[in-house]
């Protein structure tokens, strides 16, 4: 059985880049002003991605695709990885951390993207203590699975301004309940689990299938195999 990571990558990476650019250029503020027909000519609060640090929790195919795009914006790239040995992805990151050193990475990051798979080990990985390791000026993005984040803890951190903002595509309960405080937070961008959508999904899936069929006939190792021991 193959995993879906081989057909996703550019689409999800571009979604995260969109979140980062929207926050850096104050787009949530201006979209709300546009709805009210308000000319908000305010030069405060703008940022750039250039020179900022992106920390990525989990460094598989999707995360590596994101790293390549973020680097083109002049960002410094940090990442955690379950196994630091194996295929060489070190050229895509300025530093690789072991999974246990996630708090060290968070303390250095201006933007944090969650790209770990959901397993029993990553359930509520981003709980209140872990969120507390982040800078109060940092942004969090989740394109993984909702239950990797303790949503109540995240809401509390955002309300207390322990984080500057969050871009969220996945949630503990989907659809996100209408009474969730996340809907009305000005420092939150919500998308309804659409980061994986792309018109090229089936083309990429077919290419992966054809490649794996050739490998199978040749007796070569298959790509993107599901590992039942790991849970992904």
What mean pLDDT comes out for the span 128-154?
A: 98
Lowest-pLDDT range of 12-26, 80-94, 126-140: 80-94
What mean pLDDT comes out for the span 191-215?
A: 95
The candidate with the shortest Cα–Cα distance to 132, out of 165, 99, 154, is 154
Say if residues 65 and 93 touch (Cβ distance below 8 Å). no
Say if residues 187 and 164 touch (Cβ distance below 8 Å). yes
All domains in the chain, ordered by first residue: 4-39+48-196 (3.40.50.720)
pLDDT digits (tens, 9 = 90+) for 3-59: 455 678 899 999 999 999 999 999 999 999 999 999 999 999 999 999 999 999 999
Catalytic residue numbers read: 145, 174, 193
The candidate with the shortest Cα–Cα distance to 134, out of 98, 94, 96, 163, is 163
- Rounded distance, CA 141 to CA 134, Å? 12
What mean pLDDT comes out for the span 178-187?
A: 98
Sign of CA dihedral 57, 132, 141, 170: positive
Q: What is the pLDDT of residue 3?
A: 44
Which residues, other chains included, contact 196 with Cβ-Cβ below 8 Å and sequence gap of 6+? 4, 8, 11, 12
In this prediction the pTM is: 0.93
């Amino acid at each position: 059985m193959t995993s879906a990571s081989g057909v996703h990558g550019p689409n999800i990476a571009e979604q995260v880049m969109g979140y980062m650019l929207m926050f850096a250029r104050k787009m949530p503020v201006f979209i709300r002003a546009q709805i009210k027909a308000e000319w908000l000519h305010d030069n405060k609060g703008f940022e750039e991605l250039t020179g900022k640090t992106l920390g990525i929790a989990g460094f598989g195919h999707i995360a590596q695709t994101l790293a390549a795009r973020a680097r083109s914006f002049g960002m410094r790239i940090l990442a955690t990885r379950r196994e630091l040995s194996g295929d060489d992805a070190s050229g895509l990151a300025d530093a690789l951390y072991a999974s246990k050193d996630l708090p060290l990475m968070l303390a250095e990051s201006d933007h944090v993207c969650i790209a770990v798979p959901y397993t029993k080990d990553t359930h509520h990985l981003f709980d209140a203590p872990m969120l507390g390791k982040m800078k109060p000026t940092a942004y969090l993005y989740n394109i993984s699975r909702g239950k990797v984040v303790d949503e109540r803890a995240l809401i509390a951190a955002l309300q207390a301004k322990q984080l500057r903002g969050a871009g969220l595509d996945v949630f503990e309960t989907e659809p996100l309940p209408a009474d969730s405080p996340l809907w009305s937070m000005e420092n939150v961008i919500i998308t309804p689990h659409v980061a994986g959508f792309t018109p090229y999904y089936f083309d990429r899936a077919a290419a992966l299938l054809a490649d794996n069929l050739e490998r199978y006939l040749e007796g070569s190792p298959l790509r993107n195999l599901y590992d039942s021991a790991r849970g992904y």
